Structure 1
Amino acid sequence: MESGEGLRSRPQALKSIRTKTADKGRLEDAKDNSELVEEEPLSPSARLFHEPNFNVYIIAIMGCKTKIHEDVVRANLNHTLLKHPRFSSLQVEDDKGDMKWVRTKVDLDKHIRVPDLNPDMESGDQFVEDYVYNLSKTAIDRSQQPLWDLHLLNVKTSDAEAVGIFRIHHSLGDGTSLISLLLACTRKITDPAALPTVPVKKKKEKSSNPLWLSRCFIWLWWIFRLFWHTVVDVFMFIATAMFLKDTETPLKGPPGVEFTPRRIVHRTVSLDDIKLVKNAMDMTVNDVALGITQAGLSRYLNRKYGNNLPKNIRLRSTLLINIRTSAGIQAFADMMENDTKAKWGNWIGYILLPFSIALRDDDPLDYVRQAKATVDRKKHSFEALYTFSISEFILKTLGIKRASALSHRIITHTTMCFSNLVGPLEEIGYYGHPMAYLAPSCYGQPHALMINFQSYINKMTIVLSVDEGTIPHPRELCDDIVHSLELIKNAVIAKGLVKESHNTNGTCSENSNSIIT
């Protein structure tokens, strides 16, 4: 299946990326069509995503409740997304090998794909899943256009009337900023002039301890623990770069897995169920998401090991943290409407998050307690800041190749990627098209497994991006995570931590229709 014109096989595209001659020809062609304005160079992290082993693309799958009108999308893109300099700039490599952003005129015919579809196809779900799978085999030709495209599939699936697929090269920005930018292009269904409401983290109230000596002791202890945790985390980062590898399990991909296509599936569960556990155990949504993921991974691996799960499995997730805080939806909307400035770019540090792999059938709540303890410990550390500084130092002193090798080694010595993104609190429309769900993911990463959580209104979408050679049945893993939420929720109710009158009907659907199949 062709994913659209202008696409080529990934190995061919990677070869093109490294050819300076193509850049020179592209500049000459662009000069004939538009005025080019040279801007700032690519950040080191953005440049890293052009290395062959880090050619990562972000995929945002948007399910819509109505058919998608191409003319409406085209008209609105000109007034929103194309005003962002990254989405209307070429990435040009000069004679010295440095890459810079250069503004150019965008031809939407090269960016919007609307394939002719058979209205009588047997399964719309399978078609969409296969379309994304085939899309992950390709790369956007950097010599022709800015590195993004949008695929509009007017095909009915089990949970949407049509599907839009945004594909964006990771060099354009980090995942959080790109999803925020996408949401800045949406509006509330109830108020078409209003931006979506996205919850923000509440600041904890300061303790009113009147004893000065007690406050001083607590402050010193806090500083000592912060210092100690940072030292330990940086040591583990260096050890991982040198020799410390995760246990070889059925979830860990082989060398070269970054070049394989990805099967992306998703499942939507009730956010109210997650909040039920969160409130009952005085935790965060992220704690619960990590807890049910730990439980699901443990169930999956136990089955793969023939119900004889080994002890002391080392399984870690690499969290790529943008140390430059995202500007937020309002700032991005103002930038597109009023040409204002907003923080942008890939300034990425690493956090190595260990997962506790064990069977805890006696008390499933231990999965969530363990996850909270791990997260609280990681929050009290400057791990991301120092790992970013180490990577920057290596890049500036030893060059992009060595920095790329370090990053690749860190990631391949761990097992998976994990992220949890907060979405709108109310129903939104993408250029007037009501959205049913949002499912973000990636391909091109040196992991065989990536798990993303994305909230939207009262739902949570769990998205898996897998290498089928490593994880041939990703729906089974999806089922394990969903079933783990059900077990943990039932355990909370059984222990009397919440009132049993809580509505639990239909909250964790086991219906396979909620997966793109």
Structure 2
Amino acid sequence: MEHQKINMESLWSDDEVPVSPTGQYFNSSALSISVLSVLESEIPIDDSPTFVLLNDLFLPINPRFSSIMVKDNNGVKQWKKVDVKLQDHVNVPTFPEGKSPEFYDACLNDYLSKIALDLFPPGRPLWNIHIIKYPTSNAAGSLIFKLHHALGDGFSLMGALLSCLKRCDNPALPLTFPNFQMKTDLNEEKGSVCKSLTNAFSTVVNSASDFGWSLLKSSFLQDDQTPIRSGVEGVELLPMNVITMSFSLDQIKEIKVNLGVTINDVLTGVIFLGTRLYMDATSKESKNGVSTALVLLNTRNIGGYTSVAEMVDASAVEKQWGNQFGFLHVSVPELNGKECSNPNQFVYNAQKIIRKKRDSAAVFLTGKLLETVRRFRGPEATAQYIRSTLKNSSMTISNMIGPLERMSLANHPIKGFYFMVVGVPQSLTITMVSYMKVVRIAVGMEKGLMDPQKYKSCIESAFDMIYKAAPSI
């Protein structure tokens, strides 16, 4: 079966289409944020079909991949269709020949840091691909997509990329994803009038508190300078290290069942505990410094997705495509004797904080604030506010759900994949994606500030501590 081509040209009847507000924020004088998606091939890469695949599969997914961002006579940014010169978007770097996989690990890391800092040339669509033909410790070759965040969020961009891939076991069948359903405490407690009134009052109070704190964090209150936050102005312009680690989804589910929490609660608790362990190992004085994580949320009005076709369905493009997310300010719990003796407390703390903030209207109110700022002061001022929000916090955490089946691209089986958000004015960025019952955590960190291997060891130790403690509950 051939790949399904998603024809979206009919959605763009005019030559120019307005850029969404979030798209304008992410490609402004204050911010330029992109996503690096890395596909790891099990076999050496044959790049001969590259241009055919890009022309026949990638470009038709969405007109934005064949468009540039321009300003109209009123200064409003628009997407304008252009002729794409594919050779300008394909890069095949050359490294020294005949070296060890560990040598090419370092080459790949340096290359990721380099392209993270590279700006997209004006007059070209906002994407590039990079083909690494050298074997690393994880793969026989790597394919890197760099996609500007103005094109869409992780949900949109993952749908775009995965629509170019097939299932290894049966190419005629679509890639599928774990099904998930959103539940709310309000539905569970619907039968109790008293509880409903109590919840309503609690929501109002929490919304006011969370929104007020978020406003202060975005405007005035900065996190402490710690081993995970340098506080340097322009940190997004500094070199970075990227490391990854893998965890068994089955083991994560064991913790989830034993503790009665969600998979996201487990992963967030592991990251929080591992981060505090790293801070403790690096500097006793600042191990419990004020540190805030921005946890990204998908705000689409959907219950989930089960296939790639649903992610990029042209008939539902307004619901599916673009940047549709919010963020929660979550304080990283402190590390003390109680948490060391009971590491599961970090999971419970993560669950409690995130559930409380999810149940408030802070995300909605923040969205309204951004829209108000944009309306009266313009998108550049709004982008500056978002930049301040990021800069004043210590880290960003985002996650995606990946396919259950092994996938392939042009008959190249994909051993693993991960993504990294770059251009963010923070010293630490963490992303997570599931694939074939494995959760891959990728960490981008300011080079020279953090020790990559020490941080990785601390995250792995945190997972082991929580996994071993969970059965006792």
Query: TM-score, normalising length from structure 1?
Result: 0.82
User: What SS does the corresponding residue of 1:361 show, helix, strand or coil?
Assistant: helix
Aligned to 1:260: 238
Does 1:183 find its partner at 2:199? no
After superposing the two structures, state which structure 1 stretch, 107-116 or 460-469, moved more. 107-116
Q: 1:284 aligns with which of 262, 268, 271?
A: 262
After superposing the two structures, state which structure 1 stretch, 199-208 or 264-273, moved more. 199-208
How far apart in 2 are the matches of 1:408 and 1:439?
25
Contact 1:415 1:449 in 2 (8 A): yes
Does 1:223 find its partner at 2:200? yes
- Report how many aligned residue pairs link the two structures: 453
- 1:399-436 CA distances to partner (integer Å, 9 max, x unpaired)? 22321222122222211111121111121112332111
How far apart in 1 are the matches of 2:27 and 2:280?
38
How far apart in 2 are the matches of 1:225 and 1:73?
55
AA aligned to 1:288 is V
How far apart in 2 are the matches of 1:280 and 1:238?
37
Contact 1:246 1:413 in 2 (8 A): yes
User: What SS does the corresponding residue of 1:198 show, helix, strand or coil?
Assistant: coil
Contact 1:315 1:357 in 2 (8 A): no
Contact 1:277 1:489 in 2 (8 A): yes
How far apart in 2 are the matches of 1:374 and 1:265?
27
Report 1:206-355 matches (<5 A). Answer: 215-253=192-230, 254-306=232-284, 311=288, 313-325=289-301, 329-335=308-314, 343-355=320-332
After superposing the two structures, state which structure 1 stretch, 349-358 or 316-325, moved more. 316-325
Aligned to 1:129: 109
Q: Quick one: structure 1 residues 475 and 68, their matched pair in 2 at CA, closer, same or farther if it must change by over 3 Å?
A: same
How far apart in 1 are the matches of 2:375 and 2:185?
41
CA shift, 1:80, in A, is 2.2
Contact 1:61 1:439 in 2 (8 A): yes
Aligned to 2:63: 85
AA aligned to 1:323 is T
Does 1:415 find its partner at 2:394? yes
Report 1:8-157 matches (<5 A). Answer: 38-83=15-60, 84-122=62-100, 123-143=103-123, 145-157=124-136
- 1:1-55 CA distances to partner (integer Å, 9 max, x unpaired)? xxxxxxxxxxxxxxxxxxxxxxxxxxxxxxxxxxx95232111111111223311
AA aligned to 1:65 is E
Contact 1:152 1:164 in 2 (8 A): yes
User: What SS does the corresponding residue of 2:30 show, helix, strand or coil?
Assistant: helix
AA aligned to 1:245 is Q
Report 1:344-493 matches (<5 A). Answer: 344-359=321-336, 360-471=339-450, 473-493=451-471
Contact 1:186 1:195 in 2 (8 A): no
How far apart in 1 are the matches of 2:27 and 2:59?
22
How far apart in 2 are the matches of 1:348 and 1:194?
30
AA aligned to 2:391 is T
Contact 2:227 2:286 in 1 (8 A): no
Contact 2:326 2:363 in 1 (8 A): yes
Larger-gyration structure (1/2):
1
Q: Quick one: structure 1 residues 137 and 408, their matched pair in 2 at CA, closer, same or farther if it must change by over 3 Å?
A: closer
Which residues of structure 1 form unaligned runs of 5+?
1-35, 498-517
User: What SS does the corresponding residue of 1:80 show, helix, strand or coil?
Assistant: helix
- 1:87-117 CA distances to partner (integer Å, 9 max, x unpaired)? 1111112343221111122221111212344
Contact 2:294 2:327 in 1 (8 A): yes
Query: TM-score, normalising length from structure 2?
Result: 0.89
- 1:200-248 CA distances to partner (integer Å, 9 max, x unpaired)? 3225599999x99x52222222222222221111111222233222222
User: What SS does the corresponding residue of 2:266 show, helix, strand or coil?
Assistant: helix
CA shift, 1:170, in A, is 1.0
How far apart in 2 are the matches of 1:356 and 1:333?
38
After superposing the two structures, state which structure 1 stretch, 49-58 or 338-347, moved more. 338-347
How far apart in 2 are the matches of 1:286 and 1:255?
31
CA shift, 1:181, in A, is 2.0
Aligned to 1:507: none
How far apart in 2 are the matches of 1:304 and 1:185?
43
AA aligned to 1:124 is Y
How far apart in 2 are the matches of 1:222 and 1:460?
34
Q: Quick one: structure 1 residues 466 and 203, their matched pair in 2 at CA, closer, same or farther if it must change by over 3 Å?
A: closer
CA shift, 1:476, in A, is 1.3
CA shift, 1:291, in A, is 0.6
RMSD over aligned CA atoms reads 2.6
Aligned to 1:515: none
CA shift, 1:310, in A, is 5.1
Aligned to 1:501: none
How far apart in 1 are the matches of 2:421 and 2:271?
18
Contact 1:37 1:102 in 2 (8 A): no
How far apart in 2 are the matches of 1:113 and 1:218?
59
User: What SS does the corresponding residue of 2:48 show, helix, strand or coil?
Assistant: helix
User: What SS does the corresponding residue of 1:196 show, helix, strand or coil?
Assistant: coil
AA aligned to 2:343 is P
Q: 1:193 aligns with which of 162, 172, 175?
A: 172
Aligned to 1:10: none
CA shift, 1:334, in A, is 4.4
How far apart in 1 are the matches of 2:402 and 2:429?
19
CA shift, 1:322, in A, is 4.8
Which residues of structure 2 form unaligned runs of 5+?
1-12
Q: Quick one: structure 1 residues 357 and 37, their matched pair in 2 at CA, closer, same or farther if it must change by over 3 Å?
A: same
How far apart in 2 are the matches of 1:175 and 1:282?
28
Contact 1:347 1:388 in 2 (8 A): no
